[in-house]
Amino acid sequence: MFCKVIKKSIKFIISFVVIFSFALASTKKVFTINEESIEILAPSAILMEPKTGKVIYEKNSHEVRCCASITKVMTMILVMEAIDSGKISFNDVVSASEHAASMGGSDIWLKPGETMSVDELIKATMVASANDAAVALAEHVCGSEEIFVSEMNKKAKELSMNETVFKNCNGLDEEGHVTSAYDVALMSRELIKHKKIFEYTSIWMDYLRDGKTQLVNTNKLLKSYKGITGLKTGTTSKAGSCITATATRGNLSLNAVVLGGANGKERFKDAATLLDFGFANYSMLKPIIDENIFEPVKVVDGMKPSVNIEAKVDNEVLIQKGKERSIDNSLEVVSEVKAPVKIGQRLGRLIYKLNDEVIAEYDVVAVEEVENINFLSAFISLLNKFFQI
């Protein structure tokens, strides 16, 4: 009898240990996100922190592919730049051309000669992905879509989008109209410098034509993902289902790009998976400077024997969570500088490293001016010292 009790007790303990171990393993699986555990179904994807341009995750990110209406990200860059320069304004009234009204796919059914404001056309382009609205904006900025597309390609080169060629301004399938996930991240990074764009990309539902035309955002993450701010979706037969998704939580902003998804549900899942990985594993950190490391730099032939220096850390760096205490810094400063010395003159650099990788670099500059020594200034300085005695 006693043996049976012992055996039952042992079985109970073993069962408890197995169940507890399984539960613990399951808990770890749910709450621990690492790069190896990420499953991205789309053939091409990337996760980037836009302030620093740091790539956190990538899958065939340089593979040349179609991107459908994500093309409109570049269209909006040029439109916002034209507004910032004063070339056009949000209140400008645009008359739709026959060419703009002839676009197929997603549109707001513009009729030739119909008028809308630039503000309304941007809303239609970014919320409903209207191809006709995008062309109307392009023509308003440059006079024709052809000239506008030329400017799009120039801007792509400026942004080092080496895998991109634009053939139109709206993303309709056209031979040779290609980009890559990495290039999409680069142009998304550029567009969101214009904070005004978030006023459009965050709209879920709106109306045009005095409420007669309803606009519903094609980015379904607006309804399901915490912190989502935009940015653009795209779908064609050649491109598949694509998205460039931006989100912010606290002081960390991320951009996930997915190209070639099998369907809309898959692209949203992939984008959310990438964003979850970024927010779970990374944070933004502003390096703390120890002012005691800055010793004055010797000045040769100057009115002062040395000049005080400083490094202004005005931006944050992306850091993997848990690695904050592993950051090292080093100071590289010239041993001496020849007068004259100007305020803000670069005299060295302050470098922050994590595991021997440079994660931030700041200029070390002079905080005061030091004039070149000459007879008159030296004589005046001598007189001042004499009268102080």
Q: Mind telling me the catalytic residues?
A: 69, 72, 129
Query: Are 277 and 264 within 8 A, CB to CB?
Result: no
Closest-CA residue to 69 (of 213, 243, 265, 254) = 243
Query: Are 161 and 179 within 8 A, CB to CB?
Result: yes
CA distances 285 to 47, 118, 275, 318, Å, are: 19, 39, 18, 6
Cis amide bond preceding 50, omega within 30? no
What CA–CA distance (Å, rounded) separates 96 from 296?
A: 64
Closest-CA residue to 201 (of 159, 247, 156) = 247
What CA–CA distance (Å, rounded) separates 233 from 235?
A: 7
Tokens of 13: 């303990």
Distance linking the first and last C-alpha atoms of the chain: 106
What CA–CA distance (Å, rounded) separates 335 from 136?
A: 59
Residue holding tokens 């803000």? Answer: 344
Cα 383 to chain centroid, rounded: 58
Closest-CA residue to 133 (of 148, 149, 117) = 117
Tokens of 148: 């506008």
Residue ranges in the chain assigned as alpha helix (H): 2-31, 72-85, 98-101, 118-127, 131-142, 145-158, 181-191, 198-201, 264-281, 375-388
Tokens of 274: 């990438």
DSSP labels for 247-258? Answer: EEETTEEEEEEE
